[in-house]
Amino acid sequence: MALRLGRLGSGPWWQVVLGDYAQLRAASPRCASARVCQLPGTAGPQPRRGLGYGPWARGGSRLGTGLAATLAGLAGLAAAAFGHVQRAEMVPKSSGARSPSPGRREEDGDEIARRCSTFMSSPVTELRELRRRPEDMKTKMELMIMETQAQVCRALAQVDGVADFTVDRWERKEGGGGITCVLQDGRVFEKAGVSISVVHGNLSEEAANQMRGRGKTLKTKDSKLPFTAMGVSSVIHPKNPYAPTMHFNYRYFEVEDADGNTHWWFGGGCDLTPTYLNQEDAVHFHRTLKEACDQHGPDIYPKFKKWCDDYFFIVHRGERRGIGGIFFDDLDSPSKEEAFCFVKTCAEAVVPSYIPIVKKHCDDSYTPRDKLWQQLRRGRYVEFNLLYDRGTKFGLFTPGSRIESILMSLPLTARWEYMHSPPENSKEAEILEVLRHPKDWVH
């Protein structure tokens, strides 16, 4: 298989935070809506079979510009955008690859029920519906994002050792809902949120028109265009200035036109935002993500690493939000199963890429000056999310959006000082140099 990237024309792009994660193998107590849960240890990720990919570039219009924008507001999840939108696509190489057998069952009803018993809360979709369609990608994705949420929450709670996650279930009257888990004022984490959403319904005519404006003609039936969108999103802000902030999201989207054709894609990424530069941490984080990408081809990580560097650019500051990671979107070939496996592999790298770094630094000593610099860097984080993240802005002004989930990504505290500039050759100036000129951390 080859992975190909194209460049699209300028125009608004709003992303839904959707995705999947590693399969969970350790049990944990189920939690009722909006209650506090104490979590046991973290289950480790499972090894996955690699898939071969190679580079391929092409241009072309993409599906869902206004579509994803609408969903960003409806789902109430933060998203991001940049000046030109790239396209990630996996296509078969001439040698081909075998796809999973269509009739093969991955989970039976009892196995689905067992998996559901490990989640932070019951799934958004009723268990009987999940059992009815075990091989459908919507079922697989919902189970995976629920497992992702539970596994990440376990890992974070274990590191913090004091604070618990509040579990908040919410419903969207137009269809679907989500589960937001937030830990605040802990020993290690000032704020850590892990949110999932599973939403469905009909897209507006406005969204369909925006899609047509990007070259996609989707026929509506009675002015309706059914969609399903789901994903997991997390932002983690530690207290210690030497423990970096981390963000990840993985997502899935599909829409059905009047002719019964289903259009689908995956997207996601993971990035690190340190207050101070630690070369060893940067190498560990990027190498872990690269190893995940390399299971699917040696040319994927460099492309998605650059995409991430461009994606989190704060234009008015001339610097990146952090030291990057990977980012991709509109992954829609060669098959749902193979794209799903790629996304799943990337998501499985989240915990091993980040948790060791937090454990390493959560008890480091720091000065008031260090804390001040952390607050100023968090101000940059807020600037990006509110000024450049078009999905966030769209969500804030979309009727029916869930504001608490949209703003979950923001830190509890931040600071802005007028004309602040760090001294030359200081450790504060060191991180700024990297944010202005991204580095290759793995070669």
User: How crowded is the C-beta side of 171, counted as CA atoms within 13 Å?
Assistant: 6
Cβ-based neighbours of 388, under 8 Å, separated by 6 or more? 80, 81, 82, 313, 314, 315
Helix (H, G, I), strand (E, B) or coil at 304: helix
* Tokens found for residue 182: 């937030």
DSSP 40: -
247 is catalytic: yes
Within 239-278, strands assigned E span 245-256, 262-273
In degrees, rounded to 5, the angle at the alpha carbon of residue 120 between the alpha carbons of residues 119 and 124 is 75
Of the candidates 148, 206, 155, which has an alpha carbon nearest to the alpha carbon of residue 344?
A: 148
CA–CA distance, 124 with 212 (Å, rounded to integer) = 31
Intra-chain end-to-end CA distance of the chain, in Å: 25
* Angstrom distances, CA of residue 250 to CA of 93, 144, 149, 269: 25, 10, 11, 6
CA–CA distance, 153 with 73 (Å, rounded to integer) = 25
* Tokens found for residue 405: 């989930």
For tokens 């908040």, name the residue: 168
* Angstrom distances, CA of residue 70 to CA of 13, 217, 267: 10, 17, 16
Helix (H, G, I), strand (E, B) or coil at 193: strand
Among residues 237, 247, 286, 296, the one annotated as catalytic is 247
Contact indicator for 240, 160 with CB cutoff of 8 Å? no
* Residues with catalytic function: 247
